[in-house]
């Protein structure tokens, strides 16, 4: 009733959960932020997730993990003191992860009217859903969200731009989700000697970017070809996107 819970989406490649320790850290942080005790140890989560994947029989999939506050005797804003959190683990097929074709996305910018605790991966996704549906109603694939003139993220992914050979992504404040794909991309790019700046991106800078890309567990890295009806760069994946994507695919293959 209160949307009082948090979740994780973990990609599965070759029957193995990808970057699971990072997801468990974020799960634990989200739980702390909503003042809900973590019902399982990291070892127990790891076993449970492995069991769910094994039982599904899937090789390429997502694991969805959700923890909500639990069952209470009546509706009350005050947290029930003795409730046992409800844990849900679900495995589902993920055709997008096979990446047969990477068609650049068409995005529009919309005002980010979500709450100011975007770093919590909450199941309360009504604002994200409204924004995504508004973008699609306007003929786009998704929206890049702008708060006080600056990019935060997209409705379910993080944003990078490239300008003059430099990658830029917004810093990890409480206004956006600290994406795991984002972190992996930043680390891989820097290890390769690419320059990555973590700083604010103004709407004007976004509109003048040489390249725009998104990162998420669902899309890995994916180019944006159109922004607000105008072509971004050559409209295909740019040089830096290709480089970053290659690094990511190599890392995935080695994981």
* Interacting residues with ligand PDD (CB under 6 A): 9, 153, 156-158, 177, 179-182, 215-218
**Smallest separation, CB 51 to ligand PDD (Å):** 22
User: Angle at which helices 42-56 and 20-33 pack, to 10 degrees?
Assistant: 120
State which residue, 157 or 243, has the beta carbon closest to ligand PDD: 157
**Using an 8 Å Cβ cutoff, are 217 and 9 in contact?**
yes
Q: Which is nearer to ligand PDD, 72 or 87 (CB)?
A: 87
Pick between residue 7 and residue 79 the one whose CB is nearest to ligand PDD. Answer: 7
- Closest approach of ligand PDD to the CB of residue 84, in Å: 25
Chain centroid offset of residue 86 CA = 23
Supply 183's token pair.
Answer: 């972190």
Tokens 């890995």, residue located: 220
| Residue 18: C-alpha distances to residues 2, 21, 135, 162, 230 (Å) | 31, 9, 30, 26, 35
Catalytic residue among 32, 100, 121, 163: 121
Residue 32 annotated in active site: no
Q: How far apart, in whole angstroms, are the C-alpha atoms of residue 211 and residue 220?
A: 16
Shortest spacing between CB 120 and ligand PDD, in angstroms: 10
| Minimum separation from the CB atom of position 77 to ligand PDD (A) | 25
Q: Which residues are catalytic?
A: 121
């Amino acid at each position: 009733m209160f949307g009082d819970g948090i979740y994780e989406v973990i990609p599965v490649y070759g029957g193995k959960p990808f970057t699971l320790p990072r997801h468990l850290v974020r799960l634990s942080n989200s739980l702390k932020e909503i003042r809900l005790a973590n019902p399982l140890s990291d070892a127990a989560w790891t076993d449970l997730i492995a069991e769910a994947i094994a039982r599904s029989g899937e090789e390429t999939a997502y694991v969805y993990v959700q923890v909500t506050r639990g069952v209470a005797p009546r509706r009350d804003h005050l947290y029930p003191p003795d409730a046992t959190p409800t844990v849900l683990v679900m495995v589902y097929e993920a055709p997008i992860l096979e990446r047969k074709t990477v068609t650049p996305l068409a995005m529009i910018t919309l005002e980010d009217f979500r709450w100011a605790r975007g770093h919590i991966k909450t199941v309360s996704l009504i604002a994200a859903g409204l924004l995504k549906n508004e973008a699609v109603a306007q003929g786009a694939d998704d929206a890049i969200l702008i708060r006080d003139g600056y990019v935060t993220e997209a409705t379910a992914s993080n944003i990078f731009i490239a300008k003059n050979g430099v990658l830029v992504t917004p810093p990890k404040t409480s206004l956006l989700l600290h994406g795991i794909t984002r972190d992996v991309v930043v680390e891989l790019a820097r290890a390769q000697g690419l320059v990555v700046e973590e700083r604010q991106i103004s709407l004007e800078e976004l509109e003048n970017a040489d390249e725009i890309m998104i990162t998420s567990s669902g899309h890995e890295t994916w180019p944006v070809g159109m922004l607000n009806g105008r072509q971004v760069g050559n409209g295909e994946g740019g040089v830096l996107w290709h480089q970053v994507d290659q690094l990511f695919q190599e890392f995935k293959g080695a994981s």
